Amino acid sequence: MNNKTILLIEDNPDDEVLTLRALRNNHILNDVTVAHDGQEALDYFFGEGAAANTAPAVVLLDLKLPKVDGLEVLRRIRADQRTCLQPVVVLTSSREEQDIVNSYRLGANSYIRKPVDFAQFMEAVRQLGLYWLVLNEPAPVQRK
Amino acid sequence: MTTLMKLRNALASFIEHSPFRWAVLSLAAATVIATAAYSYREIDSQLTALTLSRREAVAQLMATTLTEKFGRVVDIAISLSTNPQLQNLVEKEKWIEVDELLHTVPQDLPHIDRLFLTDTRGTLRADVPALPGAHGINLASLDWYREVSRNWQPYVSPAHLRVAAPQINILAVAVPVKTSAGQVTGILVLHIHIEKLFEWVAGIRTGEGASVYIVDSKGQMAFHSGQQNHKKITDLSENPIVQKLRRGENGVEVGSDVMEQQESIVAYAPVSGFGWGVIVQQPVRTSLGLAARDTQLRNLLAGYGIILLLGAMTAILTLRVVNARQREENDRRMKAELERQVAERTSELQVANRELQSFSYSVSHDLRAPLRSIDGFSQAVIEDYAGQLDDQGRDYLNRVRAATQRMGHLIDDMLALSRVTLAEMQRGTVDLSALAAEVLAELQKNEPGRKVDWCIEPGLAAVGDAHLLRVLLFNLLGNAWKFTGKTANATIEFGAMQNAPTQNTQGTRDYFVRDNGAGFDMTYADKLFGAFRRLHTNADFPGTGIGLATVQRIIHRHGGQVRGEGAPGRGATFYFSLPD
C-alpha cells in the first residue's frame, strides 16, 4: 500500500474506532485524518493552514454530522475548484432513498452503507480500501 | 318580463331573508279573508235588505188596500144607517117597514152575506135575508153589540164562523142608527163574507210559494190566500208576529213561517183603524231575491276562493323556489365544508407523513449506529482478547452479536414496512403472472440448491402500483418458498379464481398463492397479518414477522382484501383481491 492520506469525517467515536480498526485489520496502514464534524472537515480543506494539508486519496463521509451536515460538506467540496475532483465516498448508516439520491446528485463517487454486522463492515472497508487506495487513479492535483 | 322577474326575485329574497315571512304570508291571507268576509256581509245585508223591503212594501200595500176595503164596508153600513127614511122608521119602531126597507138595499154587493137591524137593547127587528123565527131574539150577548153599545161608534168584529148553514167565515160590521137629533135608536149589522171581501187578494201575485194571511183583531187567522173556502179560524194570538201586529207594528223578518214553520221571509203590516193585520210570507228557498243574493254570494266566495288559492299557490311556488335556493346554498356550503375538511385532513396527513418520514429517517441513522458499536466491539473483544476468554465468554459475545444483527434486520424490515405505507402510488396495469415468474426466478437464483415445482396461471393482469405489487408477490412467494423448505416435492402455485357476482357487486377475482409447505393453525389466522407476529419459531423458519404485515398494507392501499387458509403440515393458501 502507498502512503496516501484518508480523511475520515465521522462524529461517532465508536464508529471512528471501529472504522480505524477495520482499516488496520485489513492492513490499510495509510495516514488517517479524522474530522469530527462538518466544520472540521471544511477547515481541513479551506481553513487556515489548509494549504499544508495534502489532498486525501479518499474522503469517507458520514452524512449525519453536527454543525455542518455531510451533504453540505459534499456540496462545498464539489463547489470549490480546488477540491471538486476529490474522490468522496459516503459511508453512512442509512439506506434511505433520499440520502442515496441526494448524495449522488451532489457528486458522491460512491455510497456505502455501514452494515451492523462487523464482519460485513470489515469486508466493506477492505474492498473500499482496495478500490480507492490501490485500484483507483485519482485526478491530477489541481492546486495552484 | 324583466320587471316581473325582478319583482319575483325581490319577493323571493324578501321571503328568504325576512324572519317574519310566515307572519307576512298569514297577514296577507288574513287581509284577503277579512275583505272577503266584509264584502260577504255587505252584499248579504244589502241584498237581503232589498229583498226584505220589497216584501214589506207588498205587505203594507195590502194592509192599505184592506183598510180601504174595510172603510168602504163601514161606509156602506153608515150610508144605510143614515138613510133618513130608515132613521125615521126605526125611531118610530115601525119594524115591519124597516124590514121592507132593508130588502130594498141593492143586492149587488156580493160580499154582504146578510144584514139585520136590532133595537138599542139588541133585539133583532129586521133581517135580510130573513131567517124564520129570528125576529125578537135578543143578540145583546154578541160582541158587536157590546162594542157598539159602549160608545155608539161603528165597529168591525173579528172573524167568526156563521152559525147558520152553510158555514162560512164572516165578520160583522155594526153601526148605530140614530135620529136626526143624534139619539141612538137601533143597530144596523152587516155580515160580510170574508172570502168574498178578500177575493182580490188571491189575484195578487206575491211570488212563488208566497202566501198572504189576514189576521183579525183577536189574533185569529181570518184568511189564508193558499186555502180557499177555509172554514177553520185558527187562533194565532200567541204568535210573536201576530202579537206585534196587534200592537200596531209593521216590519219584516226572516224567521219561522207563521203556519208552516219553515224558514221564510215574513213581512207584516197592520190594517190601521181596525186592529187587523196582513202577513205576507215567502219561503226563503223560493225567494228569487234571496236566490239571486245567494248566487251572488256564492260567486263572491268563489272569486275570493280563487284569489286565496292563487295566492296560496304563488306562496307555495315562491317558498319552493326559496327552499330550493336554500338547499342549493346548504349543499354549496356543505360541499365547501367537506372540501375544507378534506384539505385539512390531507394537510394533517401530509404533516403526519412527513413526521413519519423524518422518524424513519432518524431510525435508519440513529438506531443502527449503537447496534454497530455493540456488534463491532463484541467482535473486537473476541479477536483482541481471545486468550482471556473461555468458550462460554466467546459464546456469550457471539449471542450478543447475533442479537444485534437480528435487531438490525428488524429495523430494516420496519423501515421497509413504513416505506410501503409512505410510498406514493403509481397505478398502472401490471402483469402479475410475469411478475410472479420473475420473483420465483430470483428466489431460485438465491437458493440454487432448492428444488421447487411452481405453476403460474398465465395472463393475470391487475391495476396497481408495479413496485408495491412486486413487494407483495415477493413476500407471498418468498413465504411459500421459505415454508416449503422442509417439504419434499415442494410446490408453489399462483393463480386466480372468479367469484360469483352478488346482488351488490360484480364478480370479483381473487388471486392466490398456494404452497404445500409447513402451513399454519387456523386458530391463529387472525394473528397472521400483525407486524412482528410469527407462527413459527425463528429456529424453524427464520424471519422478522413483517412479511404478511407488508402484504396486508399493500393490499389495503389498493383497496383490496387479503386472507389466509392453511393447516399445520398441509400448506397454506393466501387469497387477495385487487379492485380495478
Of B380, B383, B408, the CB nearest to A116: B408
Identify whether the C-beta of residue B235 lies closer than 8 Å to the C-beta of residue B220.
Answer: yes
B365-386 pLDDT, tens digit each: 778 888 888 988 998 898 888 8
Q: For chain B, what percentages of helix, strand and coil (3-state, to nearest 5) are there?
A: 50, 20, 30
Judging contacts by C-beta atoms under 8 Å, the chain B residues touching residue A121 are 372, 376
The C-alpha atoms of residue A86 and residue A79 are separated, in whole angstroms, by 11
Q: Name the strand (E) or helix (H) holding B129.
A: none
- The reported pLDDT for the residue numbered B231 is 66
Listed as ranges, residues in chain B with pLDDT below 50 are none
Whether the Cβ atoms of residue B551 and residue B472 lie closer than 8 Å to each other:
yes
Contact by Cβ (8 Å): A38, A63: no
The pLDDT value given to residue B409: 84
Of B375, B428, B381, B425, which is closest to residue B400 (Cα–Cα)?
Answer: B375
ipTM confidence score: 0.76
| Confidence band for A104, pLDDT divided at 50, 70 and 90 | very high
Nearest to B361 among A94, A115, A119 (CB): A94
- What does the alpha-carbon distance between residue B250 and residue B280 come to, in Å, rounded to a whole number? 11
Are B480 and B515 spatial neighbours (Cβ–Cβ below 8 Å)?
Answer: yes
Chain A residues inside the 8 Å CB shell of B376? 14, 17-18, 21, 118, 121
DSSP per residue, B168-196: -EEEEEEEEEE-TTS-EEEEEEEEEEHHH
- Check residue B22 and give left, alpha or beta (phi > 0: left; psi -120 to 50: alpha): alpha
Angle subtended at Cα B474 by Cα B473 and Cα B475, rounded to the nearest 5 degrees: 90
Task: Report pLDDT for B348.
Answer: 87
Q: Do A119 and B366 touch (CB under 8 A)?
A: no
Contact check, Cβ <8 Å, A117/B375:
yes
- What dihedral do alpha carbons A44, A48, A49, A50 form, nearest 10°? 30
Asked if the model's pLDDT at residue A1 lies above 60, the reply is no
pLDDT value of residue A105: 94
- Our CA-based measurement puts residue B384 at a distance from the nearest CA of chain A, in whole angstroms, of 11
Q: Closest Cα partner for B467 from B445, B496, B438, B509? A: B438
Provide the residue type at B57 as one letter: A
Task: Look up the pTM and report it.
Answer: 0.47
pLDDT of amino acid B355 = 81
